[in-house]
Copies of this chain bind each other. A is one copy, B any other.
Amino acid sequence: MPQGTPLQVPDDGLSTRARRNRPVLAVHTGDGKGKSTAAFGMALRAWNVGLSVAVFQFVKSAKWKVGEEAAFTRLGRLHDEHGVGGPVEWHKMGAGWSWSRKSGSEDDHAAVAAEGWAEISRRLTEQRHDFYVLDEFTYPLKWGWVDVDEVVGALLARPGHQHVVITGRAAPARLIEVADLVTEMVKVKHPMDAGRKGQRGIEW
């Protein structure tokens, strides 16, 4: 098959150009490594062509991607100071979560996650960014902190040309159903199995 030739052309009344330019909803799921890392690799590519990138981390502090955050903060600064690439925003749930000061009990976590999603939903409506990473967002969905149907509805209804990448294990079936691109990262082998712990610059 030649490079770039679709397997089938759908009967959706769209030209190839219109279809190509539809925004992408991608899901990286599975128990293997690389779900978030590949999302950040996509964000790097988006940044490179000048798209406005926003990362929302739905994780606890121990799992925060500090290396990626530092790298993307630098990329954002490149944009702000030198007009290179696109602007970058990075939001964490918890202490660093911009629109909430709650923390502590599980109820609070649930409330913070719900608030976080409400903010993302608002931004989608306002077309605030071009490329969203909702990192580890499957967990609040799984735990019922955020309603899957509401998320699916908001994603399907998002106006304009906003790309969204969602990462995390056990992505809900409803989400996979409406996504354009779904990859399952399967663990074949992991250093932790051999008693090795993570190291700076590699694991975080």
| Docked complex Cα distance between A78 and B78 (Å) | 9
Give this chain's copy count: 2
In the complex where A32-B183, A33-B183, A34-B34 touch, is A195 in contact with B51 (Cβ < 8 A)?
A: no
Q: Which single residue of chain B is at the shortest CB-CB distance from A185?
A: B183
A6 and B195 contacting across the interface, CB-CB below 8 Å: yes
Q: Smallest CB–CB gap between A76 and chain B, Å?
A: 13
Chain A at the B interface: mostly helix, strand, loop or mixed?
mixed
**Interface window among A63-71, A110-118, A139-147, A149-157:** A63-71
| Docked complex Cα distance between A41 and B35 (Å) | 10
Q: Which of A3, A49, A70 has the most CB of B within 10 A?
A: A49
Chain A 147-187 near chain B by CB (<8 Å), digits 1 or 0 = 00000000000000001000000000000100111111111
Binding site for B on A (CB under 8 A): 3-4, 6-10, 12, 16, 19-22, 24, 27-30, 32-34, 36-42, 44-51, 62-63, 67-68, 70-71, 74, 78, 84-85, 131, 163, 176, 179-202, 204
Beyond A28-B34, A185-B185, list 4 extra A-B contacts (CB 8 Å): A34-B38, A41-B68, A49-B67, A183-B186
